[in-house]
Structure 1
Amino acid sequence: MSADRTAATRSVVQELLRRIAEGDPERIAELYADDCDWRLDWPEEEHGRADTPWIRHRATRADAAAHYRELAAHHVPERADTTIERILADGADAVVCGVIRQTAAPTGRAYTARFALHLTVRDGLVVRHHVYEDSLAVARAFAPDEDESRR
């Protein structure tokens, strides 16, 4: 039974990653439960900043769609790339490890950040989405230019 559950979890995670790569927030959100435990490993005082509004805790399927819309709106899509290095699955839990390469739309600065994504799948839907990433790299890419902030 545990092997079946692990295989089902891996299948949902692979489908989620495929949909994320396609970039349709509504289709991505279909794989999240109505209520989802969504956390980001960022300093609390950095959550919800105007320049990085997608960086905040979420709780619903609608929040998941909003996350992917906000993320896309603040990056240059044609300059994005994600490398998945490993998917580890055990029962209902999976961890995705990889590297994201993005460009901040407001500043034009590119950044690279390693990440780990801990997902829990129940009844074919993601119920936990915890992200651990290089928040400093993201924050630096979106920080206003020092010369502009002095004006």
Structure 2
Amino acid sequence: MTETTLTTRDAVHELLARIGEGDPERIAGMYSEDCDWRLDWPEEEHGSPATPWIRHRRTRADAAEHYREIGRHHRPEDVATEVERILVDGEHAVVLGEIRQTAKPTGRAYRARFALHLTIEGGLVTRHHVYEDSLAVARAFSR
């Protein structure tokens, strides 16, 4: 393994640990000031009132707000994430797994498979692209 791979893997593990702790400001500290943040959702559903955290982002402050919005819309006692695999290639990493959450507004639980493509430069996330089961999330939040 190269030093870049170790650095990338270590940064991904640190990011996941911070996400698990749930402090949006500490999580955002892992992101660069300018970050390419994309979510694989139908464009017309980005930033809907039911799922406002689902939208593209650009800054570290945006990253913090993303995690705050997730917290506001989910029951914290019903959150679980299973990371099944972390694949690293240079400064790129892909995290594969499943999230389990419960929507606060509807009380519906959901499970969603995901792939998270990260790019790490200088120990910070510069790319955060999420591919998830958007139908499962949308159904949990639909009234």
Q: Check whether TM > 0.5.
A: yes
Residue matched to 2:76: 77
Deviation sequence 1:70-109 (CA, Å, 0-9, x none)? 0010000100100000000010000000000000000000
Q: Percent identity?
A: 71
User: Unaligned 5+ residue runs, structure 1?
Assistant: 145-151
Q: CA deviation at 1:3?
A: 1.0
Residue matched to 2:33: 34
- 2-side partners of 1:124 and 1:80: how far apart? 27
- 2-side partners of 1:3 and 1:102: how far apart? 36
Residue matched to 2:5: 6
Residue matched to 2:54: 55
Q: Report the 3-state secondary structure (helix = DSSP H, G, I; strand = E; otherwise coil) of the residue aligned with 1:42.
A: coil
Residue matched to 1:100: 99
Q: Which amino acid aligns with 1:67?
A: H
Residue matched to 2:124: 125
Q: CA deviation at 1:15?
A: 0.2
- 1-side partners of 2:141 and 2:73: how far apart? 9
- State TM-score, norm by structure 1: 0.94
- 1-side partners of 2:113 and 2:47: how far apart? 21
Q: CA deviation at 1:52?
A: 0.3
Q: CA deviation at 1:31?
A: 0.4
Residue matched to 1:68: 67
Q: RMSD of aligned C-alpha atoms?
A: 0.6
Q: Please identify runs of 4+ aligned residues in structure 1 that moved more than 3 A.
A: none
- 2-side partners of 1:131 and 1:122: how far apart? 18
Residue matched to 1:114: 113
**Larger-Rg structure:** 1
Alignment size in residue pairs? 143
Q: Which amino acid aligns with 2:112?
A: A
- 1-side partners of 2:40 and 2:112: how far apart? 13
